[in-house]
Structure 1
Amino acid sequence: MESSLPQLFNNAKPFLAVILVQFGYAVMSIIAKFALNQGMSPHVLVAYRMAVASALIAPFAIVLERKSRPKMTLTIFAKIMLISLFEPVLDHNLYYTGLKYTTATFTTAMCNMLPTFTFAMACIFKLERVEIRRVHSQAKVVGTMVTVGGAMVMTLIKGPVLELPWTKGRNHLDQSGASGGHEHDLMKGTLMLMAGCCCWSCFIISQAVILKSYPAKLSLAALICTMGTVEGTILAFAVEWRNTSVWLFHLDSKFIAAIYGGMISAFAVTTLGSVMKKRGPVFVSAFNPLSLVIVAILGSFLLAEEICLGRVIGSIIIVIGLYLVLWGKSKDEPQSKPDGTLVRADQQMATINDGIQSSSP
């Protein structure tokens, strides 16, 4: 009995690790939304968050990969500059701006569309094989359409507000300010979130190419975070050049959002990378909807976010589409081999990247 307890704990560790990361992501969404509601610039949040992540990841990359790190060339450096522009700069800025216009729950649900966007773009660039006569390929195609349909339902259909035990009798505030501009802000936020997912997918596909010539995953993560900090700071200065006060903050929600965001990014790199080596990328991806549930509960409790029937139905449709795509991906031949592919901030981008690499020509 005593010998079985350590074995049971070892078997449970991947599950506990992924659940902990998803909970960390959910808390980050709530903190970020609260900071944005308090007037924090989404562009400044990205710059500060990436600076913290760089400071935390770089020492590990320097020490752990000092012997295995390949030589840096001008071509590789230029590629890293380019993909860091996709993610974290454009993706994070679009993500946080979309979060500002919508709700934490809505944003988290939309981010579950990432595998769909990645699959579609991989097909466009011929990195993904689609054999329409095979069931798993049909599942990926159908999952893509289902996910897009879920996003349309979430955006266009609101439905009645669902009263939860802790929200009964509470006066729900319009999440976007004046009621007249709510639908406009929701549509604008949706477009930004979808554009952010496209940038995220471009990053995944580009990363699959760079990893072939620069396989030091931790060092690549540190370099991307560092270049993202530089480029994100330049973008923030360009957008907020008339309002320098946005760079100032005290020990408040803005400070916590920047520090905690960097910490969860660094934590995800090390934790999810280890889990993927043992259980593979599909295992990690399967837990993505968990953060949606946590954010929905915390958002309604802490931010007084409305939970509407239409948004719930749309979220469920997106999750169904996500699992169809992931199931089809898991049945690809040859099957993806977990190799600890780079995992980055906010959501597990690289959970799909490993599968893309295995099916690329």
Structure 2
Amino acid sequence: MVLKIGDARSMYRKFKPHLLMVLIQLGYTFLNFITEASFNEGLNPYVYITYRHAVSGFVMLPFAYFLERRIRPKLTWPLFVELFILSLLGVGFTLNAYFASLRYTSPTVVASMVNVISSLTFIIAIPLGMEKLDLKNPRGMAKVIGTLASLAGVTLMTLYKGKSFRSIWSAPIHMGSSSIHENWLKGSILGVASCITWSMWYVMQAYTLERYPAQLSLTTWMSLIGGAQSAVFTVCVEHKPAAWIIGFNIKLWSILYGGIVCSGLIIFIQLWCTKEKGPVFVTMFNPLSTIMVAILAYFVLGEGLYMGSILGGIIIIIGLYLVLWGKENDEEEVPMRSS
């Protein structure tokens, strides 16, 4: 019995990052819909980003200050500049572009675009030496094929619909029609731009964590600095004071959820997974959000589920498995080299 408990604990430690990344994608899935609903009610996406990270920064601040006061490195000017750039890549520019694209398109389209982040991160990580690529090794080939398969699955879900499977019951939640999906091309361009800078952010996280390993403090700094960057940008583009007024409604709940859960808890967990497994591992789970969005839209919102989404989802899962199988070999080789 003791051995069985020991084996269970060993399995939990081994797959803890995998489980956490699945939960993170579930959190991001709900984020897509709650922000869509708040934007439909008139919430400005730039105001949303500013408030969201202000909430995150002030909620995380006491935890970071007291829990990491002994391990937090001294903040120097070069390190502050690095944190400023990291915040700009992860919040100031990227999230403003991302949620603006959500405003002009739809949750399904945006969730599909985000999946190119894994491929972009993989490409960036190889020349930087953060990811090994041995095409002569079966597991090395698996990483490449898995990455391409995930990208193909996302493309299939985005471009091909096929037969529609309508929900057999009435939708419990109605989002309502939106009048803000006014520029599909503009939204797509903003989405692609955010994916590029998002990939750079994931890679830079790994470098910053080596010099600033206090993950709670790093999360707090990114929220506070990114929120300030977003505030400056918002003041420049949004000249209506009424846009900053938030009532006790879906707008407030969207900001609280985005700030406390997504910009706070999820980013903290994501930093831990990046430190343990690397940026490519973290981004390879992004396609799961696309599948979850499609499933949630079908069962909760009553939207149609298409054959393209089903086939694409299967291909994405296969691709994710291939990449994780290939990366498992990387981790097994580390102790062999050090011995």
TM-score bracket, shorter-length normalisation: 0.7 to 0.9
**Separation in structure 2 between the aligned mates of residue 174 and residue 64 of structure 1, nearest angstrom:** 45
Aligned to 1:77: 80
In 1, are the aligned partners of 2:52 and 2:256 still within 8 Å (CA)? yes
8 A Cα contact 1:172 1:304, kept in partner: no
Unpaired runs of 5+ in structure 1?
A: 338-361
How many residues matched? 330
Residue aligning to 1:145? 148
What's the counterpart of residue 234 of structure 1?
Answer: 232
- Counterparts in 2 of 1:93 and 1:163: CA distance versus 1, 3 Å: same
Distance 1:6 1:59, change over 3 A: farther
Structure 1 residue 139 displacement after superposition: 1.9
Supply the RMSD in Å over aligned alpha carbons.
Answer: 3.9
Q: Who is 1:117 aligned against?
A: 120
Q: CA deviation at 1:46?
A: 1.1
Aligned counterpart, 2:168? 165
Is 314-323 or 35-44 further displaced after alignment? 314-323
Question: Residue by residue, what CA displacement relative to the aligned partner does 1:109-141 show, whole Å, maximum 9, x if unpaired?
Answer: 433433222101112445433222112222222
- Change over 3 Å in CA distance of 1:70–1:271 after alignment to 2: closer
1:263 aligns with 2:266: no
- The yes-or-no answer on 1:54 pairing with 2:57 is yes
Per-residue CA deviation, residues 119-171 of structure 1 (Å, 9 max, x unaligned), is 01112445433222112222222233333333433333333432122259xx9
Q: Distance in 1 between matches of 2:322 and 2:227?
A: 35
Query: Which AA in structure 2 matches 1:117?
Result: L
CA shift for structure 1 position 101: 2.9
Work out which of the residue numbers 98, 114, 129 in structure 2 matches 1:95.
98
- 1:142, 1:321 within 8 Å by CA — same for their partners in 2? yes
Task: Supply the AA of the counterpart residue of 1:158.
Answer: K
CA separation of 1:258 and 1:238: change in aligned 2, threshold 3 A: same
In structure 2, the CA distance between the partners of 1:316 and 1:49, relative to structure 1 (3 Å rule), is: farther
User: Following TM superposition, by how much is the alpha carbon of 1:95 offset from its aligned partner in structure 2, in angstroms?
Assistant: 2.0
**Deviation (angstroms), 1:88:** 1.5
| The 10-residue stretch of structure 1 (27-36 or 147-156) with the greater mean CA deviation from structure 2 | 147-156
Looking at structure 2, the residues matched to 207 and 302 of structure 1 have their Cα atoms a distance apart, in angstroms, of: 35
Residue number in structure 1 paired with 2:158: 155
1:296 to 294, 297, 304: 294
Give the gaps of 5 or more residues in structure 2: none
Give, in whole Å, the separation in 1 of the partners of 2:127 and 2:12.
39
Deviation (angstroms), 1:318: 3.7
- The residue aligned with 2:190 is 192
Range moving further from structure 2, 269-278 or 146-155: 269-278
Q: Is the 8 A contact 2:50 2:231 kept in 1?
A: yes
Tell me whether 1:68 sits opposite 2:68 in the alignment. Answer: no
Contact residue 155 and residue 190 of structure 1 kept, 8 A: no
Deviation at 1:255, TM superposition (A): 1.0
Give the aligned partner of residue 134 of structure 1. 137
Paired position in structure 2 for 1:252: 249
Say which of 200, 205, 213 aligns to 1:207: 205
Shift of 1:5: 9.5
The Cα offsets for residues 36-78 of structure 1, whole Å up to 9 and x where unpaired, read as: 1222221111111111111121111111111111111111101
Aligned to 1:37: 40
Q: TM-score, normalised by structure 2?
A: 0.80
**Shift in alpha-carbon separation, 1:279–1:89, aligned structure 2, 3 A:** closer
Deviation per CA, 1:165-204: give whole Å up to 9, x if none. Answer: 2259xx99887778xx7xx61x544443332222111112
Find 2:326's aligned residue among 328, 341, 347. Answer: 328
Per-residue deviation, residues 15-51 of structure 1 (Å, max 9, x unmatched): 8766654443332222111111222221111111111
Superposed, 1:307-318 pairs within 5 Å as: 307-318=305-316
Q: What's the % identity of the aligned pairs?
A: 34
Higher mean displacement: 94-103 or 286-295: 286-295
Q: TM-score, normalised by structure 1?
A: 0.75
With over 3 angstroms needed to count, the CA separation of the structure-2 counterparts of 1:118 and 1:274, relative to structure 1, is closer
Give the match for residue 342 of structure 1. Answer: none
| CA positional deviation for 1:235 | 1.4
Judge conservation of contact 1:106–1:311 (CA < 8 Å) in 2.
no
TM-aligned CA distance change 1:283 to 1:154, over 3 Å: closer
